Amino acid sequence: MAEHFRHARGLLYFDLYWHVGDPAETLHVIEGEISGEGPWRVGDCIVKVLGCHGSDPALATAYARWQERLEQDGYLPRPLIDAIARRYGATLATNGPGSAAPSSR
């Protein structure tokens, strides 16, 4: 997950490289109540913080490559990202999924 936000139906997340793709294909909602303090449960999914015990090394590598590309190409400003998330139904939160970097579901 490149970005993640609380959503009225659960959790809205953006794929890596979402900003160069079609939002209809790169933004997703996991439906269900968000619970836990990390890892979190969203519906039938478990969301972990990348780099924590049990993280998938392939996901960590993909995320690191994405971060390297962002350093080269730049990224969108936070207010624009937040506005896009709101357009897709996000409610901006400061704790739980939406404030940490979950790695898998």
* DSSP 8-state assignment for residue 74: -
- The pLDDT score that the predictor gives to residue 54 is 67
Give the pLDDT mean for 75-90: 94
With beta carbons less than 8 A apart as the criterion, state whether 30 and 46 touch: no
Task: Provide the 3-class DSSP secondary structure of residue 90.
Answer: strand
pLDDT at 103 over 60: no
Question: Tens digits of per-residue pLDDT, 10-67?
Answer: 999 999 999 998 988 999 999 999 999 888 999 999 998 887 666 788 998 999 999 9
Residue with tokens 């897709």: 88
Residue with tokens 């400003």: 77
Question: pTM of this prediction?
Answer: 0.81
- Ordered by start, the domain boundaries in the chain are 3-91
Residues in the chain: 105
CB atoms within 10 A of CB 85: 22
- The pLDDT score that the predictor gives to residue 93 is 58
